[in-house]
């Protein structure tokens, strides 16, 4: 069956003709979408949406170019639309969203682990070994929870404090 005949049958809403066109072009259109979106799941979605759009608007196909070229243009446009939508979903990091505490008091009022003495040595060791900046909040979490690993205690010079 010639491509023009298949397209005409698709215009008449023939599901078998639509499936035939889908099978003929889906792998090639998947490759086109992959070049743009670079993710197989997203490329599959783009191809599916492209075929849906093509079949819904097949009456606009005038035959001036091949059906494959017409469909490829739809896939490219859908891929670009997908990338634009994905870019809008990404939120730029704004420092106004982050709140870094200015509080320099890192004392823990409730001693959950019962190891206040070791914690005091660790805090003193950290203070004497290097300057703590506000951005060192990750180390603070270890100290606050009393969960220092061997490598951290060695790094700050408290090899015997961990037990």
In order along its 163 residues, the chain shows pLDDT tens digits of: 577 899 999 999 999 999 999 999 999 999 999 999 999 999 999 999 999 999 999 999 998 999 999 999 999 999 999 999 988 776 566 666 666 666 676 666 665 555 666 767 767 666 655 554 544 445 544 544 455 555 555 555 555 544 4
The position carrying tokens 């300057």 is 131
Say what the pLDDT of residue 106 is. 65
Going along the chain from its start, the domains and CATH numbers come out as 3-89 (1.10.1740.10), 116-155 (no CATH)
- Residue 137's contacts (CB-CB under 8 Å, 6 or more residues apart) are 100
Name the H helices within 1-135: 3-11, 15-37, 40-56, 67-89, 116-129
Say what the pLDDT of residue 11 is. 93
Query: To which H or E segment does residue 138 belong?
Result: helix 137-145
């Amino acid at each position: 069956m010639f491509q023009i005949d298949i397209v005409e049958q698709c215009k008449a809403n023939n599901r078998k003709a639509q499936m035939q066109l889908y099978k003929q072009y889906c792998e090639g259109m998947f490759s086109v979408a992959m070049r743009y979106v670079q993710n197989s799941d997203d490329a599959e979605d783009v191809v599916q949406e492209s075929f849906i759009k093509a079949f819904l608007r097949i009456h606009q196909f005038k035959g001036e170019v091949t059906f494959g070229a017409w469909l490829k243009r739809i896939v490219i446009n859908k891929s670009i639309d997908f990338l634009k939508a994905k870019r809008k979903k990404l939120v730029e990091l704004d420092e106004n969203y982050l709140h870094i505490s200015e509080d320099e008091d890192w004392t823990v009022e409730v001693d959950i682990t019962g190891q206040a003495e070791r914690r005091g040595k660790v805090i003193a060791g950290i203070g004497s070994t290097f300057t703590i900046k506000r951005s060192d909040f990750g180390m603070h979490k270890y100290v606050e929870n009393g969960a220092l690993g061997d490598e951290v205690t060695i790094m700050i010079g408290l090899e015997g404090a961990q037990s």
